[in-house]
Structure 1
Amino acid sequence: MVNHGIVLDLVERLAAVADGATAAVPLGPGDQGPVTQTVAAWCARTGNELLEVRDGAAIIRRGHPPDPLAGLASGQMPGTRLWMYTNFDCNLACDYCCARSSPQTARRALGIDRVRRLAGEAVQAGVSELLLTGGEPFLLPDLDDLVAACTDALPTTLLTNGMLFRGNRLERLRRMDRDRLALQISLDSATPDTHDSHRGTGSWARAVAGIRIAQDEGFRVRVAATLPAGQSHELQPFHTFLDSLGIAPEDQVIRALAHRGNADAGLELTIESLIPEVTVTADGVYWHPVSADDTDQLVTAEIFPLAEAIAEVRRRFSDYRARANAATQWFPCA
């Protein structure tokens, strides 16, 4: 028998809250079993959700919460791309390096065995692109093997400062798959002054030379610039210069300086404010490559199975977005 009193109470209390919000509906004294069954049946018919019964009341969510991950732009779903820090040592000591890399930094190499396994598991986990970064990957004597393990599995981007394309390292570059590999070379300005002030005297000229070598070798080249606040006036001259080098507009990447690693200023980036990009280092799985040397964004020290690490990142991200959505609910006053 339907308890019409409780049904009217349900309608009245849920009408006063926003979609996705909750209401507590008292069940009354006595045997609450039949009343709870009525509430559960009513929720099922009306598209609401009975969360629990406690302290003599039914806790009900109006409607069903939207998928917190719905509406993400193409490519933003965590796990679409997988970043790997091949190493942390570098031939440069840039004053705003998010990974704190330098010639004195310990290598902390990921290693060929883990890279090969990660590339294989990435395919099964639905990853569509691999990105290798450092440190400076071209310091590694087996970089061509690392890259081959990745390009055999998925399209790959290799981030580098472009300054080491000579001798044995140039030969390693020449052994890489031009059809499946893009090189992303760091260059911060159209002229040497700004770039060299952060990365070292002469580094701009050597990076530009590296871009030209990579192009001559038949690789797709992306160029990525890090611009501190107040340097937006450099954008147009920079784009004009990259156009002159033959860098396609879609391969000209501009990113803001982040207050991470060596940087003493920049954007404050937290787990709550960042759309995650799953990042693996020798130390574990991190939320984002910009913070892969910071313990506050370590997701798990267990790299494998990769699918479980990706699932954990998605779960946490979904929770953060759901809480943010709940904090902006409509509150009826009339």
Structure 2
Amino acid sequence: MSIGAAVAHGRLPGRVWMYSNYHCNLACTYCLTESAPAVARRELPPTAMIEIGRQARDLGFTDLGVTGGETFLMPAMPELLAELATILPVVALTNGTLFNHRLLARVEPLAGLPVALQISLDHPDPETNDEMRAPRNFRKVATAVPELVRRGVTVRIATTVESLDKTTLERLCTLHRGWGVPDCDHVIRPIVRRGRAATYGLGVRAGQPELPAELTITAEGAFWSPFAPTVRDGKPDTDLLITRTTRPLSVPAHALLRLIEARPPGEDSTLNIR
């Protein structure tokens, strides 16, 4: 079966993920990649990401995802997202804390393009939100999101939690609705016990059977899922590595498809995470 046919028939998810980098201006308690300011950057050059995007389109994939680290620490990220959007629709994950006036001006051309910025916000109370992330994180996100929406940039909110009661969820939804982000653009997902979350004993255990298969490319190889190329005690995890080869993209794409087709019937992923 071709990659395009596998995507069209739902055998293979349509999005290809790329880890642009691993360093970050924050050091969140549950971070999958132990990202922080001084960690190894493990960057994918913009030229490589554009090449991967084009090959993904040619193979029959339908979407691109960019994650990190903090993606907007990559100097060319606004322009890179605009170029990727000419290839396939793209979602880029960000902590939302770097959007000063200069960066807001640079991302404004993304308005009207098939680009969504997925910004992390875990709790409607600033203190509770910031405990897991960083001081003043809530305030920076609460400032950035309305400014992005006002400029016409599509924003999604990602909430990563161990549990969320109904009242807290409603308060959180009231908050993002007030910023102009609809419920359909609010993603709620569990903490996954990999990376720094595993060090702190947080989240749900997740391996290949639990994680949806989405081809994920890093500077060090191709992985089963964007939740797979994690880092523990400074060392990259390789338990969910598919191939060290990342280009041509057909090599890891077909390797992933073979792994999916080898799974017993009915053995679908059990975590609904995006």
Give TM-score scaled by structure 2 length: 0.86
* Matching residue of 2:225: 288
Task: State how far apart, in whole Å, the 2-side matches of 1:279 and 1:232 are.
Answer: 32
RMSD: 2.3
Q: Determine the structure 1 residue equivalent to 2:41.
A: 107
Give the share of equivalent positions with the same residue, in percent: 33
CA–CA distance in structure 2, aligned partners of residues 324 and 173 of structure 1: 41
Correspondent of 1:232 among 157, 162, 165 = 165
Q: In 2, Cα distance between the equivalents of 1:311 and 1:109? A: 24
1:182-193 superposed matches below 5 A: 182-193=116-127
Deviation at 1:76, TM superposition (A): 5.8
C-alpha distance in structure 2 between counterparts of 1:225 and 1:152, whole Å: 28
Report matched runs for 1:188-207 at 5 Å: 188-207=122-141
Once residues 193 and 219 of structure 1 are traced to their aligned partners in structure 2, the CA distance between those partners, rounded to angstroms, is: 27
Taking the aligned partners of 1:222 and 1:75, their CA distance within structure 2 comes to 27
Q: Deviations over 1:104-143 (max 9, x none)?
A: 1111110112111101101111111111111111111111
Counterpart of 1:136?
A: 70
Q: 2:242 is matched by which residue type in structure 1? A: V
CA separation of 1:188 and 1:323: change in aligned 2, threshold 3 A: closer
Question: Is residue 275 from structure 1 mapped to residue 212 from structure 2 by the alignment?
Answer: yes
Deviations 1:250-279 (A, max 9, x none): 101100111011102211111122221111
Give the number of the structure whose alpha-carbon radius of gyration is greater. Answer: 1
Aligned partner of 1:255 in structure 2 is: 189
Report if the CA contact (8 A) 1:86-1:133 is conserved. yes
Give the equivalent residue in structure 2 for 1:181.
115
Amino acid at match of 2:240: Q
- Look up the match of 1:91: 25
CA distance in 2, matches of 1:123, 1:102: 32
**Structure 1 residue 217 corresponds to structure 2 residue 160:** no
After superposition, what is the alpha-carbon deviation per residue over 1:71-100, rounded to whole angstroms, capped at 9, x for unaligned? Answer: x99996434101111111111110001121
Task: State the match for 2:234 in structure 1.
Answer: none
**In structure 1, C-alpha distance between the alignment counterparts of 2:38 and 2:23, rounded to whole Å:** 7
Give the Cα separation in 2 of the matches to 1:270 and 1:184.
24
User: Is the 8 Å Cα contact of residues 7 and 13 (structure 2) preserved in structure 1?
Assistant: no
**2:249 matched to which residue of 1?**
306
- What letter is aligned with 1:273? E
Alignment check: 8 A CA contact 2:17 2:214 kept: yes
Are 1:297 and 2:240 counterparts?
yes
- Seen in structure 2, the aligned counterparts of structure 1 residues 324 and 290 have a Cα distance that, compared at 3 Å, is closer
CA distance in 2, matches of 1:76, 1:235: 31
Alignment match, 1:40: none
- Residue 291 of structure 1, CA deviation: 1.9
1:316-327 equivalences under 5 Å are: 316-322=259-265, 324=267
Contact 1:222 1:253 in 2 (8 A): yes
For 1:269 and 1:138, locate their aligned partners in 2 and report how far apart those are by CA, in whole Å: 28
- Tell me, yes or no, if the aligned pair for 2:120 and 2:159 is still in contact at 8 Å: yes
Residues 34-72 of structure 1 show CA distances to partners (whole Å, capped at 9, x for unaligned) of xxxxxxxxxxxxxxxxxxxxxxxxxxxxxxxxx9xxxx9
TM-score calculated relative to the size of structure 1:
0.71
Q: Match for 2:90 among 151, 156, 176?
A: 156
Cα pair distance change 1:74/1:195, threshold 3 Å:
farther
CA separation of 1:162 and 1:178: change in aligned 2, threshold 3 A:
farther
**Structure 1 portions without partners, runs of 5+:** 1-66, 326-334
Shift of 1:150: 1.0
Tell me which of the two structures has the higher relative contact order, counting C-alpha pairs closer than 8 angstroms and 6 or more residues apart: 2
Task: Work out the number of aligned pairs and report it.
Answer: 254
- Cα distance in 2 for partners of 1:158, 1:88 equals 14
Within 5 Å, which residues of 2 pair with 1:114-125? 114-125=48-59
Q: Cα–Cα, structure 1 residues 171 and 118, in superposed 2: closer, same or farther, change >3 Å?
A: same
The separation in 1 between residues aligned to 2:207 and 2:30, in whole angstroms, is 17
- Check conservation: 1:148, 1:177, Cα contact below 8 A: no
Partner of 1:288, secondary structure, is coil
**1:236 counterpart SS class:** helix
Aligned equivalents of 2:130, 2:186: Cα separation in 1? 19
Cα offsets for 1:120-170 (capped at 9, x unmatched): 101111111111111111111111232133111011111111111125433
1:320 and 1:271 mapped to 2: Cα distance? 10
Q: 1:162 to 1:153 in 2, by over 3 A?
A: same
